[in-house]
Amino acid sequence: MGRIDIDEYRCKGCGICTIACPKKLITLCDKLNNQGYSPAEARCQEHCTGCALCAEICPDVAITVFR
Ligand code: SF4
Ligand code: SF4
């Protein structure tokens, strides 16, 4: 089991993590962050495996994985 934290202020809303997550737990928000991007958010984290694929692929190092 795992859990992730997404730093919405670092996120540029590229959406790569939404594709990378094998459980499809990450989506982009409707709201904008202070840089004007729609940041990623994770839902249903009880299904997170802690695989860290999302964190490894994020170009802005915005995702921290806890196992
Ligand atoms: S750690 Fe793995 S399962 Fe959890 S949100 Fe990231 S990619 Fe998805
Ligand atoms: S990969 Fe990183 S920068 Fe891109 S949407 Fe996900 S958290 Fe944001």
Mean of the pLDDT values across residues 28-52? 96
User: Beta-carbon neighbour count of residue 31 at 10 Å?
Assistant: 9
Q: pLDDT averaged over the chain? A: 97
Domains in the chain (CATH in brackets) are: 3-66 (3.30.70.20)
Q: How many helices (H) and strands (E) does the chain have?
A: 2, 4
Beta carbon of 50 within 6 Å of any ligand 1 atom: yes
Q: Which atom of ligand 1 is nearest to the CA of 24?
A: 8
Mean of the pLDDT values across residues 12-40? 97
Which residue among 12, 30, 32 has the greatest number of ligand 2 atoms within 8 angstroms of its CB, and so is best to mutate? Answer: 12
The DSSP symbol for 53 reads H
Q: Which atom of ligand 1 is nearest to the CA of 21?
A: 7
Which residue's alpha carbon is at the smallest distance from atom 4 of ligand 2? 14
Residues 42-66 have pLDDT tens digits of: 999 999 999 999 999 999 999 999 9
What pLDDT shows up at residue 38? Answer: 97
